[in-house]
Amino acid sequence: MTSKTNRPRVQTLRCLLSVAVGILCAQSLAFRNVDSAAFDNFANLTAKGLDSIAQFGPAGSIALAVCLGVLFYRFYPNFNHAGKRDQLISAILSFFLALSIVLPRLMKLPNVSFDSYPNYVGGAPQWHKPIFWMVASVQLLTIGFTLAVIVCWLMHKATDFVESRNTDEASTAIPHTNLSIWERGIRFFDGKPKHMTVATLTMVLCWVPMLIIQGPAIIGVDSMVQLVQFRTGHVWDPMTMAELPGYAGQDHHPFFDTYIYGLFDELGLWLGQEILGFRILIALQSIVAAFAIVVSLVWIKKRTNLPDSCICVCWCLAAVLPAFPMYMSIVLKDSTWVSIFLLWMVAFFEVIYRCNNNQAVGWKLVLCLVVLGLFSGLTKKLGIYVTTVSLLLAIIAVRKQFVAFLVSMLVPAALVIGFVPIAVLPALNIAPGGPQETISVPIQQLSKVAILHQDELSKSDRQAIDKVLDIDHLKPYWQADSADYAKHYGYRLNASSSDRKNFILTWIRLFFRYPKDYIAAVPYLINPFVYGDTYYYSGPVRCGWWEAGGSQILTEYPECGLSYTQGKIAIPLTNALNKIPPFSFIGSEALYTVWLPLVALGFTISIRRYRNLRYLIPIAVSWCSLLLLPAHQARYTLSFLFVFALTLAVPFVQVLTNERNISS
């Protein structure tokens, strides 16, 4: 115990430490690698560092340093008095969080505009220079130390929430005459149909202004392919541009989505104005998305100890954050699929909850998982793999309700992966998607190795590669930011399944010879895991494939042209949201793909609710799926944004058995 005479000295030291950490952390956040010359000498480093800090302006830099210093001063006692276990958890967690901030400021980002905060055009990393590692270490230590203090305080609060909620539930029998705003708001998440309807429609009303600003619609390039093929009957492979005569469509993009978008296109034409069909589609998918979010909050209210205020804040965030309506205004498979996946996640959470608490899993819940898993796979091909693998891992982790899990896993997978390509696509005269899509990353990595080390490869390796890829034709077009170029210009259409099998075996074997080249070939794979891109997005009404018939879709709108509200409001608003730090943070992709899942993982371990780690299985599977994608776009991680409330609630899910819940 600190004596009274030493308290002023301790407080003074704490204050000085907070000031130093605040200044260093603010400078670390502000510093950017403007170009490779930044690390040539100390003078350049100082000049570039000051230039970076100047981007905030004097007032901004001081305000950032003061805020960080105050946070550190306020929360440090909790970290200082925490147990070694919690300190270790918060330190490990904060290291990875800090790494997601530091990496974009030291790495080259050539395709990002300078005025899009927090992305900055940078130079090539100077890995070989000690001063580079010094700067990286200072940034990691100061940002990580500050985050560790905050995370440790949050873990302390999480434990208090769980304990106080149990006490509050014991006193709920006492009627309250003066209800707080949170007590009034939480009633809309009690599961009653009328309350859920009000919460859903209110959220949609909050989205309406952004839907109007983004309007009348945003039709992505992929959707334009589907609409052109549905409308004109001109069928071709959009990756290789090879004609597919005799077919009524192609399943490169899910055929189920093609029929949905095509039918709403026809509805608009029948109503006398083509755009009306897409407006109706956007309204419907917005209602379904809002309903799915409300359902997730209802589940959280019933099954977790998360405070009522946090549940209401989650609803408010989903209602006011522009990212949600921005993606609902897009006619694209990701926007159509994400609501179905969120509902599947709720059903998955409910199954895990019942297994954790030794409760029966009824056939209705199994049927719900089957139906939602089926539609998840039909609207987005990757969806069926995420749901199937998640259920398989759940069988291994839970070891209960084997039949329920098995049925929920096998039926959708058998229908989507087996029955659809064997029976449905031939019956509808739809060509299957190109097999190169499933090996995008191996194509990207092995093509780079073949370009750089062709003379070093054995004859058998060159043959295995040449049967799948035309390296000579591909070489001038190869780019590191996407595997689409390698697939488009290099993939041989006559490659057999045996050729692709040998190709994959060669890819696995050569990884151990050229690991650096493999990593350098796919730099975009790190983008979802670092602090940079945001979910704020706007675009033209229609764009792409005019030469193949796209000009017949929405003829009243120019090719790649913006509507009045998109050009005057949506684009400037998107740029502003990306530049302003508070909004750029809450809209950041990494906040939802990295920060929330890692915080949920750390908090769950901290309060020792180990069974709750099972809820994070789909998150882990989704992480792995991101490493198989041909390129990076924020829409590929849209599921992380929509399941944010469920992710946040994982540490607080009730465990009704005798397992020890709270750390001593």
pLDDT at site 663: 35
Contact 537, 321 (CB under 8 A): no
| pLDDT confidence band for 27 (50 / 70 / 90) | low
Distance of CA 440 to the CA centre of its chain: 20
Tens of pLDDT, residue by residue over 235-251, are 888 877 788 888 888 88
Centre a 10 Å sphere on the Cβ of residue 278 and count the other Cβ atoms it contains: 27
Least confident of 70-84, 114-128, 165-179: 114-128
pLDDT score at 299 = 96
Q: If DSSP codes are grouped into helix, strand and coil, which group holds residue 47? A: helix
Give the pairing type, strands 430-431 and 218-219.
Answer: unpaired
The Cα–Cα gap between 443 and 349 comes to 36
C-alpha neighbours within 13 Å on the C-beta side of residue 219: 33
Whole-number Cα distances in Å, 151 to 157, 624, 653: 10, 26, 19
Residue 586 is encoded by which pair of tokens? 């809450």
Q: For residue 225, is pLDDT > 60?
A: yes
**Closest among 381, 305, 301 to 341, alpha carbons compared:** 381
Q: 447 or 18: which carries more pLDDT confidence?
A: 447
Q: Is the pLDDT of residue 142 over 60?
A: yes
89 contacts: CB under 8 Å, gap ≥ 6: 155, 602, 605, 606
Contact 249, 288 (CB under 8 A): no
Q: Side chain identity at 496, as an amino acid letter?
A: S
Tokens for 525? 């794979």
Output the CA torsion 248→490→631→421 (10° steps): 30
Would you place residue 114 in the very low, low, confident or very high pLDDT band (cuts 50, 70, 90)? very low
Q: What does DSSP say about strands 218-219 and 330-331: parallel, antiparallel, or unpaired?
A: parallel
Q: Is the dihedral of CA 499, 500, 501, 504 positive or negative?
A: positive
Angle between helices 255-271 and 274-303 (to 10 degrees): 130
Give residue 54's pLDDT band: very low, low, confident or very high (50, 70, 90): low
pLDDT of 7 reads 58
Three-state DSSP at 243 gives strand
Nearest alpha-carbon partner for 640 in 664, 612, 618: 618
Whether the pLDDT of residue 64 is over 90: the answer is no
The string over 12-22, giving b where at least 16 C-beta atoms fall within 10 Å of a residue's C-beta and e elsewhere, is eeeeeebbebb
Q: What pLDDT, on a 0 to 100 scale, did the predictor assign at position 303?
A: 93
pLDDT at 623 over 60: yes
| Sequence-separated (6 or more) residues with CB below 8 Å from residue 217 | 275, 278, 279, 282, 329, 330, 331, 541
CA 664 to CA 658: how far, in whole Å? 15
Model pTM score: 0.89
Please check whether residue 622 is in contact with residue 597, taking contact to mean a CB–CB distance below 8 angstroms. Answer: no
Q: What's the pLDDT band for 37 if we cut at 50, 70, 90?
A: low
Whether pLDDT at 387 is above 50: yes
The answer, yes or no, to whether residue 307 has pLDDT greater than 80, is yes
| Bridge partner list, 330 | 218
Give backbone dihedrals phi and psi of 531, rounded to 5 degrees, phi first: -75, 110
Percent of the chain clearing pLDDT 90 (strictly above): 46
The identity of residue 121, as a single letter, is V
Between 147-161, 486-500, 524-538, 566-580, the lowest mean confidence (pLDDT) is in 147-161
Query: Interhelix angle for 274-303 vs 308-320, to 10°?
Result: 170
Q: Tens digit of pLDDT for each residue in 318-331?
A: 999 999 999 999 99
What band does 232 get if pLDDT is binned at 50, 70 and 90? confident
3-state secondary structure 355-400: HHCCCCCCHHHHHHHHHHHHHHHHHCHHHHHHHHHHHHHHHHHHCC
Report the pLDDT value the prediction gives residue 268, as an integer from 0 to 100. 94
What pLDDT score was predicted for residue 116? 38
The long-range contacts involving 492-496, CB below 8 angstroms and separated by at least 24 positions, are 492/467, 492/468, 493/240, 493/242, 495/435, 495/467, 495/468, 496/467
pLDDT of residue 254: 93
